[in-house]
Amino acid sequence: MTHATVLQTEGLCKYWGGVKALDNMSLSFHDKSVHGIVGPNGAGKSTLLNLLCGSYKPTAGRILHQGEAIEDIRAYQFVRRGIGRGFQKTNIYPQVTCLENCCIAAQRRVGGSFNILLSKNSSALLKEMAEQALQQVGLGSRRDTIASQISYGEQRQLEIAMVLATAPSVLLLDEPMAGMGHEESRLIIELLKKLKQDYCIVLVEHDMDAVFELSDQLTVMVNGQHLVTGCVDEVRNNSKVKEAYLGQGDEVI
Ligand SMILES: Nc1ncnc2c1ncn2[C@@H]1O[C@H](COP(=O)(O)OP(=O)(O)O)[C@@H](O)[C@H]1O
Ligand SMILES: [Mg+2]
């Protein structure tokens, strides 16, 4: 069963001078599913996520959220619309607690400028959003631990919690398993399996086994271009994909 389309791109392009980091990308992302994005280094995967969260403005093309064009709105408005972005590199504040990290993230959704009279309620709301996010990723017991004191794997979980603390409906995740051992990766895979029941997840990931296990839809990109989109089996058996990956050595599908 295909769930409702949440986010779409139409002819999306991002050029840096003569470099076509992303060229004419038209994709649909659905609710309650994982859409995997794979491709060799430099394929334009992070560029796509940066466009989808409003960090970059497209050179051309459109981004539709719930059918509404959003490519011209400001980055903070993407967060307020429920489009949450995790980063390829660990993006936490190491000197404060896990709960405080999530409070800072939640504030991006609620807005930074509080009326003094409302501030008590606002901080209670932020704390509630933050606590809930920590529980969702299984870091409830690390609530009051300084972020630099938790393991690398837990820091990546915290990063996902920070996205969840913004109360998103879309999760844009850039290599959440990068640098992890097998057991830590398993934790994230199980977490994403649980989260995909409730969110539209766009997952850029190099770990092919993880991508195959999690993805409902899978897109392969090469040199900023769309190569193929389909379910995992369709993509694995696609002759263009086999051709594109042949000779790449390290990344054979
Ligand atoms: N800020 C930037 N300025 C200039 N070129 C960029 C910038 N960001 C990305 N690129 C280029 O765009 C292409 C796609 O990069 P990227 O989206 O990071 O690929 P991926 O995440 O698939 O490895 C690369 O050729 C990269 O060098
Ligand atoms: Mg990247």
Residue-level pLDDT at 89? 66
* Position 250 in a domain: yes
* Position 90 in a domain: no
Indicate if 56 and 107 belong to the same structural domain. Answer: no
Residue-level pLDDT at 110? 76
Indicate if 54 and 12 belong to the same structural domain. Answer: yes
Domain boundary pick from 133, 166, 199: 166
Residue-level pLDDT at 91? 81
Residue-level pLDDT at 112? 57
Indicate if 15 and 57 belong to the same structural domain. Answer: yes
Indicate if 65 and 110 belong to the same structural domain. Answer: no
How would residue 246 be classed by pLDDT, with cut points 50, 70 and 90? low
Residue-level pLDDT at 127? 93
Answer yes or no: is the C-beta of 251 below 6 A from any ligand 1 atom: no
Instruction: Report d(CA 153, CA 248) in Å as an integer.
Output: 29
Q: How many CB atoms lie within 10 A of CB 237?
A: 11
Instruction: Report d(CA 178, CA 99) in Å as an integer.
Output: 23
Q: What distance in angstroms lies between residue 80's CA and the mean position of ligand 2's atoms?
A: 24
β-pairing, 5-16 with 60-65?
antiparallel
**What residue type is assigned to position 142 of the chain?**
R
The CATH code of the domain that includes 245 is: 3.40.50.300
Q: Is the pTM of this model over 0.85?
A: yes
Domain boundary pick from 142, 166, 190: 166
Q: At how many degrees (to 10) do helices 119-136 and 152-164 cross?
A: 130
Displacement of CA 202 from its chain's centroid (Å): 5
| Nearest CA among 58, 92, 5 for reference residue 224 | 58
Residue-level pLDDT at 120? 65
Q: What distance in angstroms lies between residue 120's CA and the mean position of ligand 2's atoms?
A: 40
Answer yes or no: is the C-beta of 21 below 6 A from any ligand 1 atom: yes
Q: How many CB atoms lie within 10 A of CB 59?
A: 15
User: What percent of the chain is modeled with pLDDT above 70?
Assistant: 91
**Mean pLDDT value of segment 227-242:** 92
| Nearest CA among 56, 77, 57 for reference residue 68 | 77
42-46, 72-76, 138-142, 249-253: least confidently modelled range: 249-253
β-pairing, 19-30 with 33-38?
unpaired
User: What percent of the chain is modeled with pLDDT above 90?
Assistant: 77
Indicate if 62 and 45 belong to the same structural domain. Answer: yes
Q: What is the mean pLDDT of the chain?
A: 91
Q: Does the structure show a pLDDT above 90 at 146? A: yes
Answer yes or no: is the C-beta of 40 below 6 A from any ligand 1 atom: no
Q: Does the structure show a pLDDT above 80 at 17? A: yes
Residue-level pLDDT at 114? 46
- The tokens describing 240, both together, are 């263009």
Residue having the nearest C-alpha atom to atom 26 of ligand 1:
42
* Position 87 in a domain: no
* Position 71 in a domain: yes
Residue-level pLDDT at 123? 82
pLDDT in tens, 80-103: 999 998 876 678 999 999 999 999
Nearest bound ligand to the CA of residue 44: 1
Q: Is the dihedral of CA 221, 222, 224, 225 positive or negative?
A: negative
pLDDT in tens, 109-143: 877 554 444 566 778 889 999 999 999 999 999 99
Q: What distance in angstroms lies between residue 130's CA and the mean position of ligand 1's atoms?
A: 32
Give counts: helices (H), strands (E), the chain.
9, 10
Q: Does the structure show a pLDDT above 50 at 67? A: yes
Cα torsion 28, 33, 38, 42 to 10°: value is 60
Indicate if 78 and 184 belong to the same structural domain. Answer: yes
Instruction: Report d(CA 250, CA 40) in Å as an integer.
Output: 10
DSSP letter string over 228-253?
EEE-HHHHHT-HHHHHHHTT-STT--
Indicate if 124 and 247 belong to the same structural domain. Answer: no
Indicate if 42 and 153 belong to the same structural domain. Answer: no
* Position 198 in a domain: yes
Domain range enclosing 177: 1-82+169-253
Indicate if 121 and 240 belong to the same structural domain. Answer: no
Indicate if 210 and 198 belong to the same structural domain. Answer: yes
The total domain count for the chain is 2
pLDDT in tens, 169-208: 999 999 999 989 999 999 999 999 999 999 999 999 999 9
* Position 89 in a domain: no
Domain boundary pick from 110, 143, 166: 166
